[in-house]
Structure 1
C-alpha cells in the first residue's frame, strides 16, 4: 500500500507540471510504476492462487474437463495421504491455470501435495494444465462476472487492472447485503436489471460547471443527436427535474467534475428513489475515505443507497491534461 500511496502523491506533483514534455515524461513514469506494482500484486502476493479471482467458466465442455482433471488430481492426493483439498478448490485453481507460469505451478504442487508425492503430482498437474489450455484457447464462451467486496485498505487498489482480470467483467460492492439486494432487485418487475436498459430513455448532464470545454466538444454533438435523449450542457440542471429524470429514465450520464452529488443535494441523495443506472465520468467519483477504525464512506455509497445498483465510477483523480477529455 505504501508504494501505491506514493504513486498517488506523485501524481499530484505531475499534475502541477505546466511544461508538456515534462508532464508526459512524468505520466509515462507513473504508468510504468503502476504496471510494475500490479504485476507484483498479482505474481508476488496472489502468486499461484491468482486464478481464484477469475469468474466461473460458462463453456460446458471446458467445465466438464475441469471437473474431470480435478477429480484425477484429488484421487492422487487421496492415495498419497495427508490433507486432501475439496474438488471445488482444485477446479477453481485449474480454471485459472492458463495464467500460471512454471514456478507458480511448482509452488502449487508444493502447497497441495505431500513431499514424497510432489514430483508425480507436479507432472500430473502440468499435463492437466496443458490439456486445459488447449480447450480454453478453443472456447468461444465468455466467462461470468466477478464481484469484489474489499476492506477499507484494499478498496483503494485498482484490482480490475491486474493482468489476470483485465478481460473479465468486474463489479465492486461495499458489502454482501448490497449484493443480495441487487440480486433481489434483478427479479423485480419493472427494474432495469430485469427488463434491460432502453437507450432511448437517457438523461445526461454534460459539463455543468462550464469549465471542461474539451469534454463538452467531444460529446455535445453525440448527445444532442441521440433519439430520445434529454439533458443539459454547459449549465447546472434544475434539481427537481434531475431528480424526476433519475426516477423515470433508464440511464443517467454525468460528465463533469467529481460525482455530481451537489447537483442533487448531498443530504437528499440517499433519500431518492432512483431506477437509472448511471455513468459518472468525473475525477475520483468512486473515491471512498476511511476515517480511523470506521469503514470507508463516500458519495459512491450514497448513490447506491438511493437505488443505483448499476454505477460506473472513476476510482481516482485524473491527471490534469486528461481530465478534460474523459
Structure 2
C-alpha cells in the first residue's frame, strides 16, 4: 500500500511539470513503477492462488476437462493421506493454471500434497496443466465476469490492471447486499438491466466547467452527431433537466473533472430514482475516501444508492492526466482491452 500511495503522490508532482520532456520522463517512470507493483501484487502476494480471481469458464469441453483433472488430482491426495481440498478448489486453481510459472506450480504442490507424495503429485499437476493449456488456447468462448467486494484498504489498489485479469470483465460492489439487489433488479420489468440499453436514449455532460478544451474538441462533434443524444457542452446543465434525464434516459455519459457530483449534489443523489446507467470518465470518479474506522465513502456509492446499478468509471487518477484516450477507446466499437484502458491515460490536458 505504501508503494502505491507513493506512486499517486509522485503522479501529482509529475502532472505539475510544464517542461514536456521532463513530464514524459516522469510519466514513463511512473508507468514502469506501476507495472512493477502490479506484477508484485499478482506474483508475490497472490502467487500460486492468483487463478482464484479468474471468472468461471463457459466452454463446456474445457469445463469438463477441468473437472476430470481435478478429480484425478484429488484422488491422488486422498490416497496420500492428509488434508484433501474440495474438488471445486482444485478446479478453480487449474482454471488459472495457464498464468502459473514453474515455481508457482511447485509452491502449489508444496501447499497441497504431503511431503512423501509431493514429487509424484507435482508431475501429475504439471501434466494436467499442459493438457489444459492446449484446450484453453483452442477455446473460443469468453470467460464470465468477476465481482470484487473489497475492504477499506484493498479497494484502493488497481486490481483490474493486474495481468491475470486484464482480459476479464470486472465489476466492483461495495457489499454482497448491493450485488443481490442488482440481481433482483435484472428481473424487474422496465429496468435497463432487463430490457437492455437503447443507445439512442442517451444524455451527456461534456466539459461542464469549460476548462478542458482538448477533451471537448475530441468528443463534441462525435456526441452532437449521434442520433437521439441530448446534453450540454462547455456549460453547467440545468439541475432539474439533468434529474429528469437520469430518470428517463437509458444512458448517462459524463466527461469532465471528477464525477460531476456538484451538478446534482452529493446529498441529493441518493434521493433520486435513476434509470440510466452511467459512464463516468472523470479522473478519480470512483475514488472512495476512508475516514477513521468507518468504511470508505464517495460519490460512486451515492450513485449506486440512487439506483445506478451499472457504472463505468475511473478508480484512480490517470498517470497521464486526462480521460480522453481511455474514454474514446471504451466508446469505440473496437475497444479491445489494453493496459491504457485500465489505469493510465493517453494524453495530458
TM-score between both structures, scaled by the size of structure 1: 0.95
Q: Report the secondary structure of 2:151's partner residue.
A: coil
Asked whether the equivalents of residues 201 and 250 of structure 1 are also in contact (C-alpha less than 8 Å), the reply is: yes
RMSD over aligned Cα atoms:
2.4
Per-residue deviation, 1:16: 1.1
Q: Which residue of the other structure, out of 330, 336, 342, is the alignment partner of 1:319? A: 342
SS of 1:322's equivalent in the other structure is coil
Deviation per residue, 1:257-290 (Å, 9 max, x gap): 1100111122111100001110111111101000
1:203 aligns to what SS in structure 2?
strand
TM-score, normalised with respect to structure 2? 0.89
The whole-number CA distance in structure 1 between the counterparts of 2:168 and 2:206 is: 29
Distance 1:206 1:53 in 2: 35
Task: Look up the match of 1:232.
Answer: 232
Task: Return the alpha-carbon distance in structure 1 between the equivalents of residues 228 and 104 of structure 2.
Answer: 53
Q: Which runs of 5+ in 1 are unaligned?
A: 311-316
Deviations 1:167-220 (A, max 9, x none): 000000001110000000111011111111000000000111111110110000
Q: Is the 8 A contact 2:158 2:343 kept in 1?
A: no
Specify the SS of the correspondent of 2:341: coil
Deviations 1:217-262 (A, max 9, x none): 0000010000000001111111001000000000000011110011
Q: Is the 8 A contact 1:257 1:283 kept in 2?
A: yes
Q: 1:262 to 1:9 in 2, by over 3 A?
A: same
Distance 1:141 1:60, change over 3 A: same
- Give the total of aligned pairs: 320
Deviations 1:143-169 (A, max 9, x none): 000000000000000000000000000
Verify the 8 A CA contact 1:15 1:320 in the aligned structure 2. Answer: no
Partner of 1:15: 15
Give the ranges of 4+ consecutive aligned residues of structure 1 lying more than 2 Å apart after TM superposition. 317-326
Which 5+ residue runs of structure 2 have no aligned equivalent? 309-329, 332-339
Residue pair 2:161, 2:342 contacting (<8 A) in 1 also: no
After superposition, the C-alpha distances for 1:31-78 in whole angstroms (9 at most, x for unaligned) are 000000000000000000000000000000000000000000000000
For the residues of structure 2 that align with 1:320 and 1:107, how far apart are their CA atoms? 31
